[in-house]
């Protein structure tokens, strides 16, 4: 199993550009999430999904869109990038939301100029 994969590993954008961060998992997990990690702060939840076709907002959803058309994929879209979105983005998945282990991807480092 590849686990949770993310692409790209690193991206530079100009303000106003759009892009999609890809996330895929091959563990047949229902639950998937997107987090951002900034220096001096804990991981913050952007959006999450409890299954194909179902998404919900987290703590910091503004400026980001998600969709979940398949169990495996959970892309994160930045519609109009802003410097405040410079961060490291992590995708995570789990079988459930109780005591189940949450698996994280390797992260995408995004720089918005």
Partner 1 sequence: KNQVEQSPQSLIILEGKNCTLQCNYTVSPFSNLRWYKQDTGRGPVSLTIMTFSENTKSNGRYTATLDADTKQSSLHITASQLSDSASYICVVSAGRSQGNLIFGKGTKLSVKP
Count of residues making up the chain: 113
Contacts of 81 (CB under 8 A, 6+ apart): 13, 14, 15, 16, 17, 18, 19, 110, 112
- CB 35, CB 89: distance < 8 Å: yes
Does 33 participate in binding partner 1 (rule CB under 8 A)? yes
Does 97 participate in binding partner 1 (rule CB under 8 A)? yes
Does 14 participate in binding partner 1 (rule CB under 8 A)? no
Beta bridge partners of 94: 31, 102
- Is beta strand 54-57 parallel, antiparallel or unpaired with respect to 44-51? antiparallel
Q: Which of these segments, 14-22, 42-50, 63-71, 77-85, binds partner 1 (CB under 8 A)?
A: 42-50
Does 60 participate in binding partner 1 (rule CB under 8 A)? no
Q: Which of these segments, 17-25, 62-70, 75-83, 92-100, binds partner 1 (CB under 8 A)?
A: 92-100
| Residues near partner 1 (CB under 8 A) | 4, 31, 33, 40-45, 48, 50, 56, 58, 90, 92, 94, 97-99, 101-107
């Amino acid at each position: 199993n590849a686990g949770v994969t993310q692409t790209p590993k690193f991206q530079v954008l100009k303000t106003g550009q759009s892009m999609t961060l890809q996330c895929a998992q091959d563990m047949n997990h229902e639950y998937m999430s997107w987090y951002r990690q900034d220096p001096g702060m804990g991981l913050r939840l952007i959006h999450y999904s409890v299954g194909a076709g179902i998404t919900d907002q987290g703590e910091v959803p503004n400026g980001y869109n998600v969709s979940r058309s398949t169990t495996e994929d959970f892309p994160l879209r930045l519609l109009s990038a802003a410097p405040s979105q410079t961060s490291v983005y992590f995708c995570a998945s789990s079988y459930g939301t109780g005591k189940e282990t949450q698996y994280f991807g390797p992260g995408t480092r995004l720089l918005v100029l």
